[in-house]
């Protein structure tokens, strides 16, 4: 049953040959022209049917969405818009799609409508293009790390530790939720659970990656992570994929260099290997923007924007410098917020981040050396005793895309920080071991894969760049 992919056919190499192709009908015009797509490319192949040669029963089943096998001859096309087409000799209908009920008709559907049809939306041009780019990016990520001496390491999904102490974890339990065993104090007794303790879905594989970096040198995880944060934004999911490299003997500067080179390399891969899909997505955006006021349109078309990122340096700015810039910025009277932060030490809000990236520097920004108070306990304290060697990478239109740091490698300092935050040593005894035995300077970062896909595809909502988005109140299947 091997057939040729439509992508291969469109190169025209099989001209005048008998070929077999499988795919799904996008449109069927005038009982004569089938536009067939098999997922290998954004483009359809035109299949020309001489309807007098086929029974009505077959023709009636050729509706948008039907799956067909077509045998025929590949010939040059006289029509506009394609170089080759198939003169159809045989049609086999794998399965029809009743036009009365099949929801993906050849009109333009809204993204909101398609979100309700997560199992079928990938049959549209927009979603198939996004998912092909997503797949290419995953490949580029593995390739980058492999070429740079990293080992792919699998962090556990079920974990007993709460990496950030943020309390945004999904609990994993085998206990009977209606009738759980209780301790004397009335709290659930997790000792009787499958794992014998309270366990959660991981929010990050970082701590475990540190253990592996302390033996293999350079490692990375690329897997699903979970956050039970009740934030209904266009940038947050309850289940998202994170790329987390961790490197022994890297300080923060080396970490920033790696993060920048990594992002540029994988975007370059997409520019070189996903041209058709990017062009489609770029045109889609241009169409969409026509209905927006001039001031809200993006300054660069998608492909130019990606090239701008790969060809220019990211701007590196300390938190303290950023606060100075924000203090001296003029408040924007038209909008509700003001770009003012009075106090050194406050966390930046997304308005501030956007101002720095989109208005002030007009390029990606790496903010580093944050106040210790607003960052996690494991970050390396600077000599000033006030700031930590943390970095966030901020992207235009996206906001935070990377969070990373040099890790605190000194046992005594780490213990002090944990004590100050009431993190019991027993909970992270193994993490402290890494500082007791052969500790070394090390660093790493976490990059939200979907935020990268958002940027690469120009899509506006994170729900539209992951196959089956998990958000509050939404996990139907
Ligand atoms: P944000 O400030 O946007 O909530 P964060 O600082 O909480 O992000 P980190 O813990 O630093 O996130 O995680 C590292 C990266 O993972 C982030 O820079 C971002 O790219 C991504 N990320 C974090 N939370 C989510 C989420 N809920 N959905 C999708 N991606 C996320
Ligand atoms: Mg967050
Ligand atoms: Mg953040
Ligand atoms: Mg962060």
User: Among positive and negative, which fits the CA dihedral 162, 392, 353, 305?
Assistant: negative
Query: Which residue among 400, 444, 464 is best mutated to probe the pocket of ligand 1, counting the most ligand atoms within 8 A of its Cβ?
Result: 400
Instruction: Give 338's pLDDT tier (boundaries 50, 70, 90).
Output: low
Q: Which ligand has the nearest atom to the CA of 401?
A: 1
Question: Cα(85)–Cα(304) distance, rounded to whole angstroms?
Answer: 32
Q: Is pLDDT of 435 > 70?
A: yes
* pLDDT value, residue 201: 95
Closest listed ligand to the CA of 240: 1
**Quick one: average pLDDT of 2-23?**
92
Could you report the per-residue pLDDT of 211-258, keeping only the tens digit for each?
A: 999 999 999 999 999 999 888 899 999 999 999 999 999 999 999 999
> Can you give the pLDDT at residue 311?
98
Is pTM beyond 0.80 here? yes
403 lines ligand 1 (CB under 6 A): yes
Which pLDDT belongs to residue 350?
86
Q: Are residues 131 and 85 in the same domain?
A: no
Q: Is residue 390 part of a domain?
A: yes
Atom of ligand 1 nearest to the CA of 404: 11
Q: What is the pLDDT of residues 179-204, one digit of tens each?
A: 999 999 999 999 999 999 889 999 99
Among the residue ranges 59-73, 165-179, 246-260, 269-283, the one predicted with the least confidence is: 165-179
Q: Which residue has the tokens 């961790």?
A: 246
Q: Is the CB of 395 under 6 A from ligand 1?
A: no
Residues 71 and 220 in one domain: no
Name the 3-class secondary structure at 315. Answer: strand
Nearest ligand atom owner, CA of 445: 1
Give the residue from 74, 95, 116 where a domain finishes.
Answer: 95
Q: Could you tell me the distance, in angstroms and rounded to a whole number, from the CA of residue 327 to the centre of ligand 2?
A: 25
Ligand 1 atom closest to residue 392's alpha carbon, by position in its atom list: 18
Kindly report, residue by residue over 345-362, the tens digit of the pLDDT: 999 988 889 999 999 999
Do both 307 and 239 map to the same domain?
yes
227 lines ligand 1 (CB under 6 A): yes
**Same domain, residue pair 132 and 238:** yes
Q: Are residues 141 and 82 in the same domain?
A: no
Across the chain, mean pLDDT equals 93
If asked whether residues 278 and 382 sit together in one domain, one would say: yes
| Domain count along the chain | 2
Most confident of 12-16, 76-80, 295-299, 312-316: 312-316
Residue 315 CA, ligand 2 centroid: distance in Å: 23
Q: Are residues 159 and 72 in the same domain?
A: no
For residue 279 the two structure tokens come to 């062009």
Domain span holding position 18? 6-95
Residues contacting residue 164 through CB under 8 Å, at least 6 positions apart: 203, 204, 376
Indicate whether 390 and 437 sit together in one domain.
Answer: yes
**Are 15 and 148 members of one domain?**
no
CA distance 177 to 179: 6
Q: For residue 336, is pLDDT > 50?
A: no
CB 289 near ligand 1, within 6 Å: no
**What kind and span of H or E run contains 221?**
strand 218-226
CATH of the domain at 45: 2.40.50.140
In a domain, 339, yes or no: no
The answer to whether residue 287 is domain-embedded is yes
Average of pLDDT values for 365-389?
Answer: 97
Q: What is the pLDDT of residues 62-105, one digit of tens each?
A: 999 999 999 999 999 988 888 999 999 999 999 999 999 999 99
Residue 189: both structure tokens together? 């007794």
Residue nearest to atom 11 of ligand 1 (CA): 403
User: 194 lies in a domain?
Assistant: no
In this structure, the residue with its CA closest to atom 9 of ligand 1 is 403
Q: Ligand 1 pocket check: which of 206, 446, 474 to mutate, most ligand atoms within 8 Å of Cβ?
A: 446
Specify if 403 maps to a domain: yes
Q: Are residues 289 and 408 in the same domain?
A: yes
* Percent of the chain topping pLDDT 70: 96
User: CATH no. for residue 407?
Assistant: 3.30.930.10
User: Do the domain assignments include residue 290?
Assistant: yes
Domain assignment of residue 221, yes or no = yes
- Statement to judge: residues 70 and 136 lie in one domain: no
Per-residue pLDDT, 249: 98
Same-domain status, 155 and 72? no
Query: Considering only CA atoms, which residue is closest to atom 4 of ligand 1?
Result: 236
Q: Is the pLDDT of residue 415 over 90?
A: yes
Task: State the residue for tokens 């001859």.
Answer: 73
Q: Is residue 101 part of a domain?
A: no
| Nearest-angstrom CA–CA distance, 345 and 472 | 31
Ligand 3 centroid vs 11 CA: distance in angstroms? 46
């Amino acid at each position: 049953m091997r057939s040729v992919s439509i992508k291969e056919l469109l190169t025209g190499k099989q001209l005048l040959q008998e070929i077999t192709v499988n795919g799904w009908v996008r449109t069927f015009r005038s009982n004569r022209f089938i536009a067939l797509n098999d997922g290998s490319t954004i483009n359809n192949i035109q299949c020309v049917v001489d309807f007098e040669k086929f029974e009505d029963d077959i023709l009636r089943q050729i509706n948008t969405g039907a799956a067909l096998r077509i045998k025929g001859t590949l010939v040059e096309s006289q029509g506009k818009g394609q170089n080759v087409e198939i003169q159809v000799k045989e049609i086999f209908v794998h399965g029809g799609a009743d036009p009365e009920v099949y929801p993906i008709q050849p009109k333009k559907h809204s993204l909101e409508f398609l979100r309700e049809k997560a199992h079928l939306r990938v049959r549209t041009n927009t979603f198939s293009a996004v998912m092909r780019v997503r797949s290419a990016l995953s490949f580029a990520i593995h390739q980058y790390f492999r070429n740079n001496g990293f080992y792919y390491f699998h962090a556990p999904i079920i974990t007993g530790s709460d990496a950030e102490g943020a309390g945004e974890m999904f609990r994993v339990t085998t206990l009977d939720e209606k009738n759980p065993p209780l301790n004397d104090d009335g709290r659930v007794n997790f000792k009787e659970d499958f794992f014998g303790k309270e366990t959660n879905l991981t929010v990050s594989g970082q701590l475990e990656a540190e253990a592996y970096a302390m033996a293999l040198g350079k490692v990375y995880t690329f897997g699903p992570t979970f956050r039970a944060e009740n934030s209904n934004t266009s940038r947050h999911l309850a289940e998202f994929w994170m790329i987390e490299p961790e490197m022994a003997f890297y300080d923060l500067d080396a970490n920033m260099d790696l993060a920048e080179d990594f992002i540029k390399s994988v975007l370059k891969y997409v520019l070189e290997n996903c041209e058709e899909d990017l062009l489609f997505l770029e045109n889609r955006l241009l169409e969409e923007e026509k209905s927006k006021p001039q001031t809200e349109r993006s300054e660069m078309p998608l492909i130019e924007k990606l090239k701008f990122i790969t060809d220019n340096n990211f701007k590196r700015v300390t938190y303290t410098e950023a606060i100075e810039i924000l203090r001296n910025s003029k408040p924007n009277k038209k909008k509700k917020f003001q770009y003012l932060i009075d106090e050194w030490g406050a966390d930046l809000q997304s308005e501030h981040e956007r101002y720095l990236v989109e208005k002030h520097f007009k390029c990606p920004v790496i903010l580093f050396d944050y106040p210790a108070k607003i960052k996690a306990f494991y970050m390396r304290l600077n000599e000033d005793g006030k700031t930590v060697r943390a970095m966030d990478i901020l992207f235009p239109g996206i906001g935070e895309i990377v969070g990373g740091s040099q890790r605190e490698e000194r046992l005594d300092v780490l213990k002090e920080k944990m004590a100050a935050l009431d993190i019991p040593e027993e909970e992270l005894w193994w993490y402290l071991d890494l500082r007791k035995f052969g500790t070394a300077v090390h660093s790493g970062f976490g990059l939200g894969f979907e935020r990268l896909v958002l940027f690469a595809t120009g899509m506006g909502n994170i729900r539209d760049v992951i196959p089956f988005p998990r958000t509050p109140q939404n996990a139907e299947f």
